[in-house]
Amino acid sequence: MKRVTFDEAEQAQLDFRHTQTVKRWKQNSSRKSSKIVYLSDYMEADSRDARVLVDTSEDNLRVRHKRVKKTTASGRPSNAKQVHFKKKSPGDGECRTTRGTPSRLKRNILQQRTDRLQLLAEGNKDYMGLLWLVEQLNQTRKQLGSAGKGRHNLRRRLDYLRYRIRKQEAILVESVPHASNDTTHRQEGTLRDPQTVPELAVLYPHGSSTVDQRSGRYPVTLSKEDLEHFHANCSFDRPNAIREYCQNPPVSTATSKTGKTRKGLAVGVYCRNVITDYVDDLTFTTLQKLYHEQGELKRKNKIGFRSKLRYVVGLQETIKHLKAGLVKLVILAADLEVVGRSSPKEPSDRKRFDRLEEAVETVYGLCNGKSNPIPVLCCMSRQRLAYALFAKNSHVSCVGVLQVDSSLLYYRALVLAAKSMSQL
């Protein structure tokens, strides 16, 4: 019997493993179709793929990488560098994704802008045109489903059109004089005629020389020297001196920084005092003093500062404090719009006014109905009142002054101006 050494046994085992491995490779390669990929095929399709030459036959199951030099049309090797072109950059002011399409934020902004322009275009029609458009949208809304209603913004468009109709009806009612019961139906028929719509100048005496004597510039803050000069020359015993001082302010504050007079501001018919640049400056300075004083109280005592409020903002809050007898001075914006507003369907505890004019009349009635009338001053605009109280993104219609401690001199000057300018 032949004896097998250790080296021969190990070699036989290695040969057996190699045979099994080759057999396994052949079985795997037989499942795939043997195909030789030629270099010329890649050269015709794309020159960048010509580096790889693949042979998937049974005899050669390896992938060999060969670097092929690029040639020109004449057959010579090309030494030019490969140029990589950048993707097309988005347009000016556009926000695009990696695929070149506008982002979701940009699409929402464009959609909202389109909706607003559509609402403005639809609302810029006469009375009969608005009624006809409302009827057409109602018919379309009945035919569409819930998805279609939201897609076309029908509800928002209808709400805006109804608001425009109520606004024009309020203007028409104000323009037509009160008649007897016999001619009521006759006048209701004339309200439907778009030719009877009056101009805004009839309801709002824009830039009237008797009421609005402002140059149109923005209010400025008065210094302490200006305030002392006002108190030295003005008092309750000399109302004429107060009027002359308010109507003839110093030259440094009479015009704007550029020295040019700007366009006048709108003034409502409810204004009962003359508005000048000095009155606006005095109101602007007083409100800023009250704002800083109330902010200091809030920083010192965040819980109990509400019992020492210096002022309240809004018609509803002012009326509530007027009924409680806590208001010392009322400041109204001079550009309040007298338009109608639908009352809520469900009654609430809080008083709601069908029209803004009713709220203004209520303020005047509460101020004049007491033994000591509360002065009411109309000045500036809603935007400028908000700017004086550091609320730049809102509009303030009314401010009620409750308490004054460190701003007592400014408050007295403002009361002097309010009482003297309303007696003209």
pLDDT digits (tens, 9 = 90+) for 67-112: 445 555 555 555 555 555 455 555 544 555 555 677 777 777 777 7
Mean pLDDT of the 105-120 span:
72
Quote the pLDDT of residue 173: 65
Average pLDDT over residues 263-286: 83
Same domain, 187 and 255: no
Average pLDDT over residues 202-215: 59
In a domain, 43, yes or no: yes
CA 414 to chain centre: 33
Q: What is the pLDDT of residues 19-47, one digit of tens each?
A: 888 888 777 766 554 455 555 555 554 44
Helices and strands in the chain: count of H runs, count of E runs: 16, 6
- CA dist 415 and 3 (Å) reads 129
Closest CA to 399 of 410, 385, 413: 385
Q: What is the mean pLDDT of residues 370-393?
A: 88
**Domain extent for 60:** 36-67
Domain shared by 291 and 390, yes or no? yes
CATH of the domain at 413: 3.30.1330.30
pLDDT (tens digit per residue) in 299-345: 988 888 888 899 999 999 999 999 999 999 999 998 886 443 444 44
Is the domain of 139 the same as that of 234? no
* pLDDT band, residue 252 (cuts 50/70/90): very low
Residue 157 pLDDT exceeds 80 = no
Same domain? 193 vs 228: no
- Does 194 map to a domain? yes
Same domain? 276 vs 358: yes
**Interval 278-301 mean pLDDT:** 90
Backbone angles phi, psi at 139, to 5 degrees: -65, -40
SS3 of 16-41: the string is: HHHHHHHHHHHHHHHHCCCCECCHHH
In total, how many domains does the chain have?
Answer: 3
pLDDT at position 66 is: 46
* Residue 180, pLDDT score: 42
* More confident: 192 or 143: 143
Residue 82 in domain:
no
- Confidence band for 256, pLDDT divided at 50, 70 and 90: very low
What number of other Cβ atoms are within 10 A of residue 371's Cβ?
4
Q: Are residues 259 and 375 in the same domain?
A: yes
Examine the domain organization and report whether 239 and 376 are in the same domain: yes
Residues 230 and 357 grouped into a single domain:
yes
Q: Do residue 271 and residue 381 come from a single domain?
A: yes
pLDDT score recorded for residue 158: 76
pTM greater than 0.75 (yes/no): no
* Of 229, 217, 234, nearest in space to 280 by CA: 217
Spell out a b/e string for 65-94, using b for 16 or more CB atoms within 10 Å of the CB, else e.
eeeeeeeeeeeeeeeeeeeeeeeeeeeeee
Share of the chain above pLDDT 70, in %: 58
Name the burial class of residue 46, with classes exposed (0-12), middle (13-18) and buried (19+) by CB atoms within 10 angstroms of its CB: exposed
Which pLDDT score, from 0 to 100, does residue 79 have?
54
**Mean of the per-residue pLDDT values of the chain:** 70
- Both 329 and 375 in one domain: the answer is yes
Based on the fold, state whether residues 133 and 235 are members of the same structural domain.
no
167-171, 201-205, 237-241: the lowest-pLDDT one: 201-205
Q: Which residue, 265, 233, 269, is CA-closest to 249?
A: 233
- Are 52 and 190 part of one and the same domain? no
